[in-house]
Structure 1
Amino acid sequence: MSEAITVIGLGNAGLSVATALLKHGPVLGYDRSEERCKLARDAGVEVADSLEGLDGRAPVVLLSLPKPEASLAVAGALASWKNLPELVIETSTVTPDTAQKSAALLDAAGVGFVDAAIAGGVASMAAGEITFFLGGTDANKAAAKPILDRIAAKIHDLGPVGAGMGTKVVNNGVMHAVMVVLIEAFAMLRKLDIPTDTLVEILNREEGLLRPLIHRVGERMQDGNYEGGMSASNARKDSVLALETAQQLGVPIFATLASHTPYEIACSKGMGNEDYAALAKLWEDWCDIDFKR
């Protein structure tokens, strides 16, 4: 039987992770909510009455907390324990900056830290089939991986502290922004009396939603190749037509409208004949970065 692991934060995600870990050994836990504590006890977690009641109880502490301020507060509390843990695994969704600040607090006390952001839903967590985005020092990641392997389908080792959380927040940002674009698009479809399933089928093709990701980001941007292809000027024209259609149909659009502006900027800068993936060069200039491999 494996050594006990402490899970702090027993919300939907934390309790699912704790339940998965229970298959491999004892799990201790704490949450400020009595209701969540009761659910955890019913699941087999040994729940402490307070955060301080977990001091020295397990060498590894896993965090699953609702907001960045909570993570920082708990990291500070752990750093002041009389019997320090060896490693803290941060699975809460926080910014890279929060992860780095937590790591600094714990490092000053001699406690290891990794950010292990979780990708996927509660079902995959409870089943122990989690995808982790991992950041930290090589030594701390090496200590964390055997523990995460118990409940992981895949671990992406992404680099230093903050890299795991950075990957998750960017991924989530993409998902949430795309959701708004899709809602705007399907609102126009309904106004045109076109079945929703039709556009779902059209977008769910290699030439659909995956095309910008696989071809334009994965190939053109990484190769710096913007010759040929769908020109930025033609993409601008299509974007204008979409905006006009939304206006004619009386459909409010926000994300689609905002996404049109870079096409105007690119064309004004003489990039109209390049593939529309060349919009990436605007961000290269603005952010002083290079997308090429």
Structure 2
Amino acid sequence: MTKNQRTGTRVGLCGLGQMGLPVAARLATAHDVLGYDITADRRTMAHQIERVTTTDRLADLAGCDTIVLSLPNPAISRTVLADLAPQLNTGTLVVETSTVLPSDVREWAQLLAPTGARVIDAAILSGVAQMSGGTATLLVGGDRADIEAAGPVLDALGGAGWSRFGDLGAGMAAKVVNNGVAHAVMVVLTEAFAMSRAEGLDLADIAAMLERPDGGLIRPLTHRVMERMAAADYDGGMPLEAARKDSTLALAMAQRSGTPLFAMQAAQSVYDLAMAAGFGRDDYAAVARLWEDWGGASLGFRPQTADDGADS
């Protein structure tokens, strides 16, 4: 297939791996799909999906008006686009769903600019199971017109919805933040359950406690962040010095039971710094002031409400 031989509404998909196969299946609910993967076995598996055909030539994807990337790492995305660029048509739209950095997506745009091709980022917030079940959520960044053009593809992939987070790279930035939180919280939760086991507590009771609206997992977001930090309201509430005391008790209990702590130990240092900065009588959400000082930018914001319109 040579340059300017378009496939009409057929969507190209590069990458048929663990996430790529369900991406192919979701795309095929609304589009004909041309899939490429370096591995023959993955192409064979994808070929079993109705409305999906496969190719062993990456260059064949250049004939598609829209090309979706579902690849393992930024280096592979960069290589794929560098190989495709000379063959792309003006107006070709690349949808990057692989998890990469915001700067990577902006680099892709610079790489493709001479060809007239465009790129948006559509980070997949959900996992493989959600994509397979049609309940995935997409975090999207890019030019509004490009995102509007990609709407049919985004609708097929984002069964639970999609939202524009901002300019190019914003979707990936949001995904990286989400993953950073998830992975750090996983360590904190593991420490918490190890401490609970060492104290003879029923772990099911601890899980039920933490998932409560007033539990230690949910309330820091819904109250400390979305109410106090958002409004820079640190008057009253639970004093930071009391929170530091409670943190010290957690460390002491873990030490007595021989439970190693890493994330909670690191968090204690933040409370020490906030105390030294004179925030002891403020609500403990005032730890945010440390990052405001270090970064030189306010962390205040207006939380979304049910009446706020989405971009999707």
Please report the TM-score for the alignment, with normalisation by the length of structure 2. Answer: 0.90
The separation in 2 between residues aligned to 1:192 and 1:224, in whole angstroms, is 37
Aligned to 1:3: 9
| Alignment of 1:156 onto 2:163 | yes
Deviation at residue 187 of structure 1 after TM alignment? 0.5
2:61/2:67 contact within 8 Å kept: no
Aligned to 2:58: 51
| Alignment of 1:207 onto 2:214 | yes
Aligned to 2:135: 129
Deviation at residue 138 of structure 1 after TM alignment? 1.5
Number of matched pairs: 291
Question: 1:145 corresponds to which letter in structure 2?
Answer: G
Aligned to 1:177: 184
1:114/1:161 contact within 8 Å kept: yes
Q: Which residue, 269, 275, 291 being the options, matches 2:283?
A: 275
Deviation at residue 86 of structure 1 after TM alignment? 1.2
Q: Which residue, 22, 25, 32 being the options, matches 1:26?
A: 32
| Alignment of 1:261 onto 2:264 | no
1:233/1:273 contact within 8 Å kept: yes
Question: 1:29 corresponds to which letter in structure 2?
Answer: G
- Write the deviation string for residues 209-254 of structure 1: whole angstroms up to 9, x where unpaired: 1100011110101101000111110111111111111111111111
The separation in 1 between residues aligned to 2:58 and 2:117, in whole angstroms, is 17
For residues 111 and 12 of structure 1, do their structure 2 counterparts lie closer, same or farther at Cα, with a shift above 3 Å needed? same
Q: Gaps spanning 5+ residues in structure 1: where? A: none
The separation in 2 between residues aligned to 1:88 and 1:29, in whole angstroms, is 14
Moved more, 119-128 or 269-278: 119-128
The separation in 1 between residues aligned to 2:151 and 2:76, in whole angstroms, is 24
Q: Which residue, 169, 173, 190 being the options, matches 1:166?
A: 173
Question: 1:224 corresponds to which letter in structure 2?
Answer: A
Question: 2:279 corresponds to which letter in structure 1?
Answer: M
Aligned to 1:69: 75
Deviation at residue 85 of structure 1 after TM alignment? 6.1
Question: 2:164 corresponds to which letter in structure 1?
Answer: D
Deviation at residue 151 of structure 1 after TM alignment? 3.1
The separation in 1 between residues aligned to 2:43 and 2:153, in whole angstroms, is 23
Between the aligned residues of both structures, percent identity stands at 45
- Write the deviation string for residues 185-222 of structure 1: whole angstroms up to 9, x where unpaired: 10111111111101101101110111000111101011
